[in-house]
Every structure is written in structure tokens, then in C-alpha cells.
Amino acid sequence: MTDSKDFIAGVDSNAKKSPRRIVFITRRTSAQVKAETEDQLQTFPEVLLRAAVAIMTLAVVLIWIALLFNAPLEGLADPSHTPNPAKAPWYFLGLQELLHYFPPVVAGVLIPGLVVMALIVIPYFKVNIEAEGLFQKDREKRLQIFYSVAGGLSLFLLLFKSRLYNAVLGIKGEAEPLYAALVPTLIISGLMILASKSSPQSPSPFRRYLAGRPLSFWVMTWFLFELVVLTAIGTFFRGPGWAWVWPWQGS
Amino acid sequence: MAKTVDQYFDDLQQTRVWRSIFRSGTGSSTLKRALAIQQNVFLHLFSTKVRTRMLSFSATWYLGTLTLGTFLILVATGIPLMLYYHPSVPQAYADTKDLQFVVSSGMFLRNLHRWSAHAMVFLVFAHMFKVFYRGAYRTPREFNWVIGVVLLLITLLLSYTGYLLPWDQLAYWAITVGSNIASAVPLVGEKIHFLLLGGNAVNANALLRFYVLHCMILPLAAIFFVAIHFWRIRKDGGLYSHASEPATLRAASKDAAAATEAQ
């Protein structure tokens, strides 16, 4: 590829004099047509049959669940009697858990708004297209950024609403540190540090796997982890007054 | 000699009536099978062929298909439930009680509808994360990912609006907690809250609004976007092709191809 070109690419705006070139064919390369060589199956009937089997299996499972477990139905809605705790549907309990720590405009509007925006723009950012391990390129710079972001976030989650925070700001009332959000952050950060110390040639398959993960993987996994932990806490570990209860204590 | 069932079916397919309904004609040639997809108003959203590798369980876990399955179950159970339900206070609660104790199989219908709704929310999330981890949002599938996010929001709204309809304590207070969040939006929060509920608190107006959203507007929106979602899979070249796969997967499939050639 380094040898001299055997053509001159001229720039001419007169289309009549020099018609536009469509393709260069040089000595060593030839025009290529990308051909699909993979095995394929007809949608009718093979793929449709598989889809039907999948959906029917699901239907059988759901029908069994519907036969065995009754949907909950409590007493008639009564605006004058608030149950304690009043809980949203399970998929919003992660948000409700955040509402416990942050003002509604942050937990109810800003955070979900940012999450939806972030999800929409995923395919349009180069960082999400990259498939190389996070620390395989620009190692020093990326480690610096990682340590400051992960450190800053962990420190914020450790201090926010802690006893120290309340004392400094003169807030009365009990400290409620965000351990629920801190623990997943620390675990993912730990795995990222391990990834930075692993190489793609490592003998351990797990460390090879970690070393090959791009930034988008880490961010999404952190989000998934937080989502699952916060939702689980809101669902199983919150009782009257949104105080911590153990699932076996009942409510 | 007596005819077999297959022969009767073949005869049926040759009749003028059958041929007038199904334009693609009979026979099992590749062409006819392709036409069976391409000439059908519903199936033409899909491509006529699918890469075999995309049909392995590990490629998708069939999560998209299963999500469609829950949606179909929800439509099939939701329509009969509508026949027994009045979106008014306090009749809605009495109707739900009747479904539980008076209507034949009413309990089963309501159970199936409710558990399928939870399953759909779960499956939509699972589908999203699976697509993400497979890198299937990459070019040229960016916009289908965006439509997927829209469908996630529609699914959450469908489930949320359905949650109020039984008009019991659970429903009432879950919607009260949720709709209060809308008030937190800066400047227009109270207006959004009022628009959503048709009042300042969850009341009969809110029930009617949620009913219309749940049975009419949101399902139609879901069907509209699901149609685009499926059609885009075909237009974007199948579930995902080589170019959009992460380098590691690409290398793995290359190795596999080389191994096959070597044999």
C-alpha cells in the first residue's frame, strides 16, 4: 500500500471535459462485492414455527401462573385513608427509593429524564460503537479519568445525607446515607480496576473477558446493577414510613 | 382409495375461493414460501429469509418474540375484561369484584392479564439489555433502538394506566404516589399533573382518562410503533450483520467460518 500511486487524481470542475471517476482499479486491488455467505432459513415456515413455539411456551407458563396465583385486590379506594407505605408499581420502586433521598425534582424528573435521554442517544455516540477494551488505548489518561469519576461519585454517595453532611449543614434528623447506590458503584469500580490490571492475553478467561470490555459496557452494567438493587430494596426492604424492614418481618 | 388429510388440504388450496384469499398460490418451493411472507399484509413486515445463526437461542433468547407474545395475550385477555368493566367510581371496583367472584373464568382472565402485564414490563427491559450487550444498536440500526426506547416508555405507561383500573387501595395510592412526581416538573408541573388526572387529585376523571389511555390510545400507539420496529428489522438487514457486531464476536465467527472451510 506504501508504493507510489500509478494514477493522478485530478480535480476538475468541468464535467464535460473530464467526466467523474466512479472507481479506481489499481494493480493490486480489485473492486469487491460484499456477498452474504451465511446460512439462511425461510421465514415461512421455519422461523414462524419457532416464534409460535416460543410464544406458546410463554402462554403455557403464564396460564399456569394465572391458575395458581390470584392477582391482588384490596379494599375500595379510600382517599381519606393512606396506607403506609404507599408504594408505586414495582418497576417504579427504584425511582421511589431515590425519592426518599433526593428532592422530587431531582429523583422524579431530572434522573429519569436523563436516563431516557441517555438511552435514546446511545447509538449516536462513538463511545458506544467502540468495541475495544476500555484500558487498551490511552491507558494513563483513561485511568486518570476513571479514578476521578469513580472516586468523585463514590465520595458523593458516601457523604450525601451522612452524619457528617447533616452536621456541616446543620440538618436535624437521622442520617440516611445512600449505601444502596454506593455498594453497586464500588463493586463495578472494583471490577474496572481489575480490568485495567488485566490483559487480553491473560490466562484467566474471566480476566480476558474483563480486559475486553468497552466503556459502554461498564456504564450500562453499572446502570443495570443500580436499577436492580434500588428496585429490589424498594420492593422487599421498605416498610411503614419507608423505613428499612427485612422481607421476613412482614408489614 | 381414500384421500389423506393432506390431499384434502391440497384440494382446498386449489379452490377458487382459497386462491382469491391467498394470492401467493400453493406449493412448497422456495419462491412460494418467500411469497407467503412477501404477499401477506402482516407478514411482509418480516424478511423472507433469516440468518440461521440469528435463530439460535443464545443470539436473542427470543426476548423480542416473547414480548410480542405477552402483548398478544394482553390484547386477548383485555378485550373480554372490557366487556365486564365500567370506568366509573365506585362501579369499577364492584366490576373487579364481580370478575373475581361472579363472571365465569373472570378470576382467571384478570390473573392472566395482570401477570402477563408484569411479564411484559420485565421482558421489555430484558430485551433492551440483551440488544445492548449484543451491540445490535449499532449502524444501521440506530433508529430502531430509538423506537425501542419509545416502546419501553409506552409499555411502562400501559402498565401504569392499567394499574389504576381496579380502583382498590393498591391502585389508588400507587397512582397518587406516581402522579405526584409529575407535579415536581419545574414551572409546568402542576399543569401536567392536572392534565394527567383531569383534576387536582386521583378521582373519577382520572379513572376515565386512564381507561381511555389504557384501552385505546396507548395500545394503538404500541401497535403503530411495533409495526415500524419489525419493519425496520427487515430494512436494516436482519437482526444484526457482521459489520455491526463487536470485534470479538466478529473474530469468533471468522474463526468458526475458517474451521468449517478447513473441514
Mutate to test the interface with B, among A76, A105, A115 (most CBs of B within 10 A): A76
The interface residues of chain B toward chain A in range 232-251, judged by CB-CB distance below 8 A, are: 246-248
Where are the domains positioned within chain A? 90-244
pTM beyond 0.90: the answer is no
- pLDDT tens digits, residue range A134-170? 888 888 999 999 999 999 999 999 888 887 888 888 7
Q: Report the gap between the CA of A221 and the closest CA in chain B (Å).
A: 9
- Residues of chain B with Cβ-Cβ distance to A43 below 8 Å are 33, 37, 43, 46-50
Under 8 Å between Cβ of B168 and A77: yes
ipTM value for the complex: 0.88
Nearest CB to B111; choose among A54, A69, A92: A69
Q: Report the gap between the CA of B48 and the closest CA in chain A (Å).
A: 5
Q: Whose CA is closest to A74, among B229, B53, B213, B173?
A: B173
Name the residue of chain A whose CA is nearest to B54's CA: A40
pLDDT at A48: 95
Question: Residue A30 contacts by C-beta under 8 Å, 6 or more apart in sequence?
Answer: none
The pLDDT confidence band at residue A5, using thresholds 50, 70 and 90, is low
- Residues of chain A with Cβ-Cβ distance to B260 below 8 Å are none
B49 to A70: CB separation less than 8 angstroms, yes or no: no
Chain centroid to Cα B112, Å, comes to: 16
Nearest CB to A55; choose among B72, B115, B137: B72
pLDDT at A165: 81
HSE-CB at B79 with a 13 A cutoff on CA atoms is 6
pLDDT at B243: 44
Nearest CB to B112; choose among A66, A109, A132: A66
The interface residues of chain B toward chain A in range 97-156, judged by CB-CB distance below 8 A, are: 97, 100, 107-108, 110-116, 118-119, 121, 125, 128-129, 132-133, 135, 137-139, 141-142, 145-146, 149, 152-153, 156
B138 to A123: CB separation less than 8 angstroms, yes or no: yes
Beta bridge partner(s), residue A244? A238
Question: Residue B33 contacts by C-beta under 8 Å, 6 or more apart in sequence?
Answer: A42, A43, A44, A45, B48
Mutate to test the interface with A, among B172, B190, B202, B226 (most CBs of A within 10 A): B172
Please give the Cα distance from B50 to A38 (Å, whole number).
10
What region does B208 belong to: left with phi over 0, alpha with psi -120 to 50, or beta?
A: alpha
Work out the end-to-end distance of chain B between its first and last CA atoms, rounded to an integer number of angstroms: 49
- Residues of chain A with Cβ-Cβ distance to B118 below 8 Å are 90
Chain centroid to Cα A83, Å, comes to: 34
- pLDDT tens digits, residue range A191-246? 999 999 988 888 999 999 999 899 999 999 999 999 999 999 999 999 998 888 99
CA dihedral A57→A60→A61→A67, nearest 10 degrees, is 180
A131 to B142: CB separation less than 8 angstroms, yes or no: no
pLDDT in tens for each of the 263 residues of chain B? 678 888 888 888 888 998 888 877 777 788 888 988 888 889 999 999 998 888 889 889 999 999 999 999 999 999 999 999 999 999 999 999 999 999 999 999 999 999 999 999 999 999 999 999 988 898 889 999 999 999 999 999 999 999 999 999 999 999 998 898 888 888 899 999 999 999 999 999 999 999 999 999 999 999 999 999 999 999 988 887 554 444 444 555 555 555 555 54
The count of other CB atoms within 10 Å of the CB of residue A11 is 5
- Residues of chain B with Cβ-Cβ distance to A123 below 8 Å are 137-139, 141-142, 145-146
The count of other CB atoms within 10 Å of the CB of residue B167 is 25
DSSP state of B141: -
What's the mean pLDDT in A81-106? 90
Nearest CB to B247; choose among A58, A76, A132: A132
Work out the end-to-end distance of chain A between its first and last CA atoms, rounded to an integer number of angstroms: 73
Q: Is A244 helix (H, G, I), strand (E, B) or coil?
A: strand
pLDDT at A31: 57
B177 to A47: CB separation less than 8 angstroms, yes or no: no
Alpha helices (runs of H) in A45-178, residue ranges in sequence order: 48-68, 93-101, 104, 111-121, 126-129, 139-159, 163-169
B153 to A67: CB separation less than 8 angstroms, yes or no: no
What is the residue-averaged pLDDT of chain A?
86
Residue B111: all three cell numbers together: 390473573
- Which helix (H) or strand (E) covers residue A4, if one does? none
Give the residue, A6 or A110, on which the prediction is more confident: A110
Nearest CB to B48; choose among A38, A42, A104: A42
* Maximum distance among all Cα pairs of chain A, rounded to whole angstroms: 88
A41 to B50: CB separation less than 8 angstroms, yes or no: yes
